[in-house]
Amino acid sequence: MTAVSYLSTHVRVVGALLVREMSTRFGSKPGGYIWALLDPAAHILLMTLIFRGIARAPALGTSFALFFATGYIAFQFYQAMTGYLNSAVRANKALLSYPNVAPIDTIVARFILQVGTTSLVAFVVLGTLVTTMRIETDLHWPAILEAGAMACLFGLGVALVNSVLFLKYPLYEQVFNIVNRPLFLISGVFFLPDSIPAPYHDLVLINPLVHIIMSFRQGFYPEYRAIGLDMDYLYGIAFLTFFAGMLVFTLSRKTLRNE
Amino acid sequence: MIRFEQATKYARTKGIKKPIIEDVSLTLNRGKSVGLLGRNGAGKSTLLRLIAGAIKLDNGRIIRRGKISWPLGFAGSFQGSMTGEQNVRFVARIYGVNTEELIAYVEDFAELGPFFRAPVGTYSSGMKARLAFGLSMGVNFDYYLVDEITAVGDTNFKKKCQAVFETKLQDSDLIMVSHSTGTIRTYCHCGVVLEKGKLTYYEDVEDAIRAHDKNMKEN
């Protein structure tokens, strides 16, 4: 097989998988793709209502909704990605019996779909919030895009590793889920890591998601200083995870094909 | 043509390592349908997956000239949550054939009625077999890899299979796994016996069946 026909097969397969994923993920529910939007929007609304009752003002700016939405959506770029991609190979197991379909194709298709979905959610939810706010906001796009891209890359890397390890070690899946769940609480969706006292501040900053959320928020709050934000660290972790994931995934072809 | 060159494959499950084929060199030429015989668990289905290219050898290589189908079997290559039609669309896309033509062909062949637009998970094994069979016949391959699939289905379906095979076999070949020597006789000219990691080729399918029967008696 020549390189061109090899590549064109991959493109065809990813295209077919994209259609398949879209039709089974949302197509079977009434309302369809609307849920991809409604679910995070409802989540943010709920959190906003709860915290408005508890606190007087958000840690940044004046809008609770914008504060949570920026944190939550930045977090979702990672969390929704891994959640969806972890099972990409497993969910398409039957289709892997076609020699044309490679395990990586299932990952690529879901990655494209998830980047698209979360970006759409970000545009609609954050767009609505920013345009309806009384105070004019200057968006700093590079910070937003950087944070989103790193979150996707990091999530992809984690999912590549997980795809293999979940199949090899079912116990690891349990452990991962236990560790992954509280991430939502400690990644700075609700609070600013800047406000954490000294010994714990450094601990919190080990978590790359904290940096993702800080960078993302910088794009919406020009006055936000984001003390401790280290983009080099974030890039390092994200690329390292991604390369490790590619390596593990490539070396584990047999496990993924279920031989 | 399909040629094995010093091909080796081990099956590993839970620490048990078992040879499927060990250092096999063999050429299967175009124009002859091959019956693949071997005892239960010898690795006939794995061998078909190897020929298809769905799994890779541990050592050596398989040279393929011509378009080879995926293995058509019970286990099925269908995604249960997708409808029959969606599965057909998927295959049309990944093999780059006309989607609407393939759907029309398969819908007519498989005779699933309204079930064609129901999730494959709701199908009986006979219905799945009809869908799988119709689908692969709708895409033109030089080699069709058939794993026991003609054993399912009623007489009507078997007749249909036979009819479509007869037209297909004019320019395509079969590589068929079946425990029914009758089926093998009907479709295959020559035979290959898989025993203890070795492939033995027999020009006449009757010799292959005889050798296989002898293996079974020796145990």
Which ipTM was obtained for this model? 0.86
* Residue B216 in this model has a pLDDT that exceeds 90: no
List for chain A the helix, strand, coil content (%; round to 5): 75, 0, 25
- Residue B141 CA: distances (Å) to CA of A177, B50, B106: 44, 17, 15
SS3 B95: helix
Q: How far is A84 from chain B (nearest CA, A)?
A: 17
To probe the interface with A, which of B13, B69, B90 has the most A CB atoms within 10 Å? B90
Number of domains in chain A: 1
A19 vs B: CB within 8 A: yes
Of the candidates A20, A100, A257, which has its C-beta nearest B82's C-beta? Answer: A20
- How far is the C-alpha of A12 from the C-alpha of B92, rounded, in Å? 10
Inter-chain touch A98–B70, beta carbons under 8 Å: yes
Please provide the size of chain A in residues: 259
CB A126 within 8 Å of CB A78: no
pLDDT tens per residue across span B46-96:
899 899 988 888 899 999 998 999 988 766 788 888 899 999 999 999 999
Q: How many CB atoms within 10 Å of residue A197? A: 6
**How buried is residue B176: exposed, middle or buried, by Cβ count under 10 Å (0-12/13-18/19+)?**
buried
Domain residue limits at A127: 3-258
From chain B, the residues in CB contact with A27 under 8 A are: none
**How buried is residue B69: exposed, middle or buried, by Cβ count under 10 Å (0-12/13-18/19+)?**
buried
Joined together, the tokens standing for residue B212 give: 């296989």
Query: Closest Cα partner for A150 from A191, A88, A211?
Result: A211
Amino acid in the structure at residue A199: P
Phi, psi of B11 (to 5 degrees): -95, 130
Q: How far is A153 from chain B (nearest CA, A)?
A: 27
Return the pLDDT at B162: 81
A97 vs B: CB within 8 A: yes
Return the pLDDT at A254: 80
CB A228 within 8 Å of CB A205: yes
SS3 A226: coil
- How far is the C-alpha of A56 from the C-alpha of B164, rounded, in Å? 75
Inter-chain touch A24–B81, beta carbons under 8 Å: yes
CA A181-A183-A186 angle, 5° bins: 135
- How far is the C-alpha of A209 from the C-alpha of B208, rounded, in Å? 63
Return the pLDDT at B165: 80
**How buried is residue A33: exposed, middle or buried, by Cβ count under 10 Å (0-12/13-18/19+)?**
middle
Return the pLDDT at B151: 63
From chain A, the residues in CB contact with B91 under 8 A are: 98
Inter-chain touch A97–B68, beta carbons under 8 Å: no
pLDDT tens per residue across span B107-165:
998 889 999 999 999 998 888 888 988 898 899 899 999 887 766 667 887 788 788 88
**B→A interface, C-beta within 8 Å:** 11-12, 49, 52-56, 68, 70-71, 75-82, 86, 89-91, 93-96
SS3 A188: coil
Amino acid in the structure at residue A11: V
Residues of chain A with pLDDT below 70 are: 1, 27-29, 258-259
Return the pLDDT at B74: 64
- How far is the C-alpha of B211 from the C-alpha of B219, rounded, in Å? 12
Inter-chain touch B90–A24, beta carbons under 8 Å: no
Q: How far is B13 from chain A (nearest CA, A)?
A: 9
Residue B96: closest C-alpha in chain A: A12
